[in-house]
Chain A
Amino acid sequence: PIGQTSDELFSSQVHPVLFSAYKTVGFAEGRAGEGFVCIAGVRVAVVGSISPVCRAINISLPQVFDENGKDVTPQPLYQPDPAAVMSKHSKIFASDTSGGTMSDFYSTAYQTTTNASFAGPFTRSVFGSSTVSRGSQSTMESMNEEIEDPSSKRDISISLSDVQVRREEVKELIKEEMLDDVVDRYLIESETLWLLHMPAVSVSVDSEEAVSVKERNNLYMELCKNRMGNDKYVERSMQTFNGAPKTKEVQSEAITMVDAATTWDMYDSFRSAGLGEAALSPDTDKATSASSSRIEMEPFVVPSEDEPDPELVLQSEKFQQDLFVMERIILENIYQPKLAAYRQLPTLEDPDSVPKVVPTVVSRREESSLDEESTLTPALERLWSFSCELTSGHNVSSMAWNKRNPDLLAVGYGQFDFKDQKSGLICCWSLKNPTWPERVFTCESGVTTLDFSASNASQLAVGMHDGSIATYNVESREKTPVIDSSDCAHKHTSPVWQVRWIDHERGASGEDKGETLISVSADGRISKWFLRKGLDCIDLMKLKRTRNEKAKKQVGDKEKKSEALISRQAPGLCFDFHPTDSNIYLAGTEEGHIHKCSCSYNEQFLETYIAHKGPLYRITWSPFCSDVFLSCSSDWTIQLWRQDLFTPVLGFTSTQSAVYDVMWSPKWATVFGAVNEGRVEIWDLGASILDPTIVSLASPGVKLTSLLFATETDCILVGDSDGQVGVYQLKNLTVGEGTQVR
């Protein structure tokens, strides 16, 4: 309103909305400027009479215009005379120039409506003072009771109106100067508005109704007194009508309860906080969100495509390892009875499986045999066989246990005959998985022999039909050999029939300590291999053909002529080092001779044992008697020798087929096993020297080719020409203790 002229103020309509029910007039503490605003906006006394005055006060009087621009602000109910208003306004303005605040103005304005005359002296008094004092409140109040002074009013009004114009400029000056003035404000209670007034009706004692009224009053008083225990007044409950409820279904998500403060969760958070990694709480979120709903969006980033994600999972290392373990566990489930028998554990019967009818028949038979004989017949029970589609059709040529892990088996596949050679195969089988080998190595030529190293347990030496020797590292998944003898100048030119890792205790030239690889091949050489810028070998022995002097004498000249030597070397087929003295070894040749040789002499044999008439397939020292060794050959015989005797101590013949393999039992001194073409035989020399104790026939069409005793259990492994390695358990073999040499 400072900028507004008084004309405007006059013309502006009063807005009743801004009037409140109570008057808040008076001095108030505060800055002059503020007070000005505050009073005007907030509190304006109602009662329509004040309205015109207040209109002036109200700075922010809104004006309501309708669509046509017509001023339709609600008109006040009371329209005072503009003249009277003007006088008041002038008075108000005068108060302002005196330095009074809006409150002064307001108060004077208010007062003027009720007691217009009082404003005059009031304002005059205020004019005198530059600062507002509290005392003026009381004066104002006192002014309320004062009588009007109409005469003075007129005077004042005139005087005020004179001052009116001047006031405009002065007001501005004042406003700037007096901004920091302290302004008093006073709040006064407004008039009471009666909404409902039911005045008590009083009846005069002398009126006609007095008696009845009195009676009624008395009755009421008694009623009030008697209300408590009176029968007339019964507590009665009222039934309210309940509105018919309507069921409304609301769907919400399932509330997942999460046990968040678990021990491991705290441990995880603590660890991750310590390491500074991302908090692992998403894991718990993941768990809950995954369990609640799979359809909803995850809080963390989800790859937009689904395709790479499962692929990543499937190709991960961990997954492959899990698959590997899972396969083994499944197989363990299947093979559990067999494996338990292998380990000589009592087999657990599956409590849920349906008991089969067959075992009862067998047990009855066993019982009957029990009646006949005091002991059960020793037999070979087939447990399982190592075979898979890779190996079918290949001939098992050799088998070897891993020296460190007795559950690992290396099997070499290769044809013996020269004519049907195919590529060789080496499979490393684990006992935990009889259906698939752990490692598969393919070789160019057939594998004829292999042996695990004892010092380096993952090293496997392989001898092949083309004369080459290679070593493989079975730990790695590489398909190629670690080292190959193909570059060696002295390599074998004929099939290598046996390789062996031999541990020398003492070396001849100081460099032979440790393990070395010895091989014998059909080119008549026994070679020792070592690693020196590649695989190289030196010859331990050249197997020369020896002539049977006795035979020569008998036959005479004809013999000489028929022995046209193609080569001076006799093909070596097998050898075996002495179990205790690693300098001495036996070598068997195709001629049927056994030569005892020494590593120190590489020109001459120490001894020669002649008995066999055909190529020797195996020589083996007895692990218990250091003087005794066995030899088997294709002349259908197995011979038992003693070191110092030049004729065999015992000879064993059972069938008319070549004996391919013979092996002493690692557990019993008098037991050995032999495999010929059609059957497996277990001989127990303590029981009988004429017949094998156990005979097990091979499946028709399949030739049995190799034999291996299991080191820690009573099982043997038999390899056949179809690529199967059968595991058999020796049952009921009662062997006397002790070693006998007759």
Chain B
Amino acid sequence: IATFLGRKLQPRPQNEVEETLKRIQGQKGVQGIIIVNAEGIPIKTTLDNSSTVQYAGLIHQLVMKARSTVRDIDPQNDLTFLRVRSKKNEIMIAPDKDYFLIVIQNPSD
């Protein structure tokens, strides 16, 4: 049984993924959602193709570096979440070995 934050993961209905994605997309200030697979190919995106590819490539490198940093300090540790706050927006990345979930939000919008 997979655990997340110590709690058991309950099986969720399959359409919940779509609903959750829709809800996130509709939240205030969310500019885009990108889901990239392990090879860097975008699976799902709400942005245009050029931005998606750009984000996917750059963020991949950043996440690799961040993960390497975290694990170099303590190999038993691992990166779970990454937030990059910039002047104009915030990029939130949930990395995993199979995919990256990237959400760009401008909360003051």
Which chain A residues have a beta carbon within 8 Å of chain B's beta carbons? 259, 262-264, 266-268, 283, 286-287, 290-291, 294, 298, 306, 309-310, 313-327, 329-331, 333-334, 336, 350, 352-354, 435-436, 475-477
- Given A320-B17, A324-B20, 13 further pairs, Cβ under 8 A: A262-B71, A267-B76, A294-B39, A314-B43, A314-B44, A315-B17, A319-B101, A320-B12, A320-B20, A323-B24, A327-B27, A352-B87, A435-B27
With contacts A315-B17, A317-B9 known, is A352 near B108, CB below 8 A?
yes
Q: Is the CB of B60 within 8 A of A290?
A: yes
Q: Write out the residue numbers on chain A whose beta carbons fall within 8 Å of the beta carbon of B105.
A: 330, 333
Identify which of residues 75-109 in chain B touch chain A, using a CB-to-CB cut-off of 8 Å: 75-76, 81, 83, 87-88, 90, 92, 94, 96-99, 101, 103, 105, 107-108
Q: Is the CB of B101 within 8 A of A263?
A: no
Q: Is the CB of B35 within 8 A of A330?
A: no
- Nearest CB to that of A319 among chain B residues? B99
Q: Is the CB of B81 within 8 A of A286?
A: no
Q: Write out the residue numbers on chain B whose beta carbons fall within 8 Å of the beta carbon of A290.
A: 38-40, 60
User: CA–CA, A264 to B68, complex, Å?
Assistant: 7
B92 partner, pick from A263, A264, A267, A329, beta carbons under 8 A: A329
A264 partner, pick from B21, B30, B72, beta carbons under 8 A: B72
With contacts A310-B37, A352-B87 known, is A318 near B2, CB below 8 A?
yes
Q: Write out the residue numbers on chain B whose beta carbons fall within 8 Å of the beta carbon of A310.
A: 35, 37, 43-44
With contacts A262-B71, A321-B4 known, is A316 near B98, CB below 8 A?
yes
Q: Is the CB of B23 within 8 A of A327?
A: yes
- Min CB distance A366 to B, Å, is 24
Q: Write out the residue numbers on chain A whose beta carbons fall within 8 Å of the beta carbon of B83.
A: 329
Q: Is the CB of B94 within 8 A of A322?
A: yes
User: CA–CA, A310 to B107, complex, Å?
Assistant: 29
- Min CB distance A428 to B, Å, is 14
Q: Write out the residue numbers on chain A whose beta carbons fall within 8 Å of the beta carbon of B4.
A: 318, 321
User: CA–CA, A523 to B96, complex, Å?
Assistant: 57
Q: Is the CB of B35 within 8 A of A313?
A: yes
Q: Is the CB of A476 within 8 A of B10?
A: yes
Q: Is the CB of A353 within 8 A of B37?
A: no
- Nearest CB to that of B75 among chain A residues? A267
Q: Is B54 an interface residue (CB 8 A)?
A: no
With contacts A322-B94, A326-B103, A329-B92 known, is A334 near B24, CB below 8 A?
no
With contacts A290-B60, A322-B96 known, is A309 near B37, CB below 8 A?
yes
Q: Write out the residue numbers on chain B whose beta carbons fall within 8 Å of the beta carbon of A317.
A: 2, 9, 11-12
Q: How many residues of B contact A (CB 8 A)?
A: 49
Return the CB mask of B26-65 against A: 1 if under 8 Å, else 0: 0111100001011111011000000000000000110010
B60 partner, pick from A262, A291, A322, beta carbons under 8 A: A291
User: CA–CA, A316 to B60, complex, Å?
Assistant: 20
Q: Write out the residue numbers on chain B whose beta carbons fall within 8 Å of the beta carbon of A316.
A: 98
Q: Write out the residue numbers on chain B whose beta carbons fall within 8 Å of the beta carbon of A263.
A: 71-72, 75
User: CA–CA, A475 to B10, complex, Å?
Assistant: 9
Q: Write out the residue numbers on chain B whose beta carbons fall within 8 Å of the beta carbon of A259.
A: 68
Q: Is the CB of B24 within 8 A of A330?
A: yes
User: CA–CA, A327 to B10, complex, Å?
Assistant: 18
With contacts A294-B41, A317-B2, A319-B101 known, is A330 near B30, CB below 8 A?
yes
- Nearest CB to that of A332 among chain B residues? B107
- Nearest CB to that of A315 among chain B residues? B14
A-B residue pairs, 10 tightest by C-beta: A264-B71, A267-B75, A310-B43, A353-B108, A322-B94, A333-B107, A264-B75, A263-B72, A477-B10, A313-B99
User: CA–CA, A316 to B92, complex, Å?
Assistant: 20
Name 15 A/B residue pairs within 8 A (Cβ), A-sorted. A287-B64, A291-B40, A294-B40, A306-B41, A313-B98, A314-B43, A317-B12, A318-B98, A319-B96, A320-B16, A327-B20, A327-B23, A327-B27, A336-B107, A353-B108
Q: Is the CB of B43 within 8 A of A330?
A: no
- Min CB distance B51 to A, Å, is 16
Q: Write out the residue numbers on chain B whose beta carbons fall within 8 Å of the beta carbon of A330.
A: 24, 27, 29-30, 92, 103, 105
User: CA–CA, A309 to B43, complex, Å?
Assistant: 9
A318 partner, pick from B41, B68, B71, B96, beta carbons under 8 A: B96
- Min CB distance A348 to B, Å, is 12
Q: Write out the residue numbers on chain A whose beta carbons fall within 8 Å of the beta carbon of B16.
A: 320
User: CA–CA, A309 to B98, complex, Å?
Assistant: 10
Q: Write out the residue numbers on chain A whose beta carbons fall within 8 Å of the beta carbon of B98.
A: 313, 316, 318
Q: Is the CB of A322 within 8 A of B23?
A: no
Q: Write out the residue numbers on chain A whose beta carbons fall within 8 Å of the beta carbon of B20.
A: 320, 323-324, 327
User: CA–CA, A105 to B99, complex, Å?
Assistant: 83
With contacts A294-B41, A320-B12, A436-B23 known, is A262 near B72, CB below 8 A?
yes
User: CA–CA, A259 to B103, complex, Å?
Assistant: 29
- Nearest CB to that of B94 among chain A residues? A322
Which of A259, A264, A331 has the most C-beta atoms of chain B within 10 angstroms of its own C-beta?
Answer: A264
Q: Write out the residue numbers on chain A whose beta carbons fall within 8 Å of the beta carbon of B9.
A: 317, 321
User: CA–CA, A153 to B97, complex, Å?
Assistant: 96
- Min CB distance B11 to A, Å, is 7
- Min CB distance A356 to B, Å, is 10
- Min CB distance A485 to B, Å, is 26
User: CA–CA, A286 to B39, complex, Å?
Assistant: 8
A334 partner, pick from B12, B29, B88, beta carbons under 8 A: B29
Which of A325, A435, A475 has the most C-beta atoms of chain B within 10 angstroms of its own C-beta?
Answer: A325
User: CA–CA, A329 to B90, complex, Å?
Assistant: 11
Q: Write out the residue numbers on chain B whose beta carbons fall within 8 Å of the beta carbon of A321.
A: 4, 9
User: CA–CA, A353 to B11, complex, Å?
Assistant: 40
Q: Is the CB of A323 within 8 A of B17?
A: yes
User: CA–CA, A222 to B91, complex, Å?
Assistant: 88
User: CA–CA, A477 to B98, complex, Å?
Assistant: 26
- Min CB distance A308 to B, Å, is 12
User: CA–CA, A248 to B32, complex, Å?
Assistant: 45
B17 partner, pick from A319, A325, A329, A475, beta carbons under 8 A: A319
- Nearest CB to that of A320 among chain B residues? B12
- Min CB distance B105 to A, Å, is 6
- Nearest CB to that of A327 among chain B residues? B24
Q: Write out the residue numbers on chain B whose beta carbons fall within 8 Å of the beta carbon of A314.
A: 17, 35, 43-44
Which of A294, A317, A333 has the most C-beta atoms of chain B within 10 angstroms of its own C-beta?
Answer: A333
Q: Write out the residue numbers on chain A whose beta carbons fall within 8 Å of the beta carbon of B103.
A: 326, 330
User: CA–CA, A475 to B9, complex, Å?
Assistant: 10
- Min CB distance B61 to A, Å, is 6
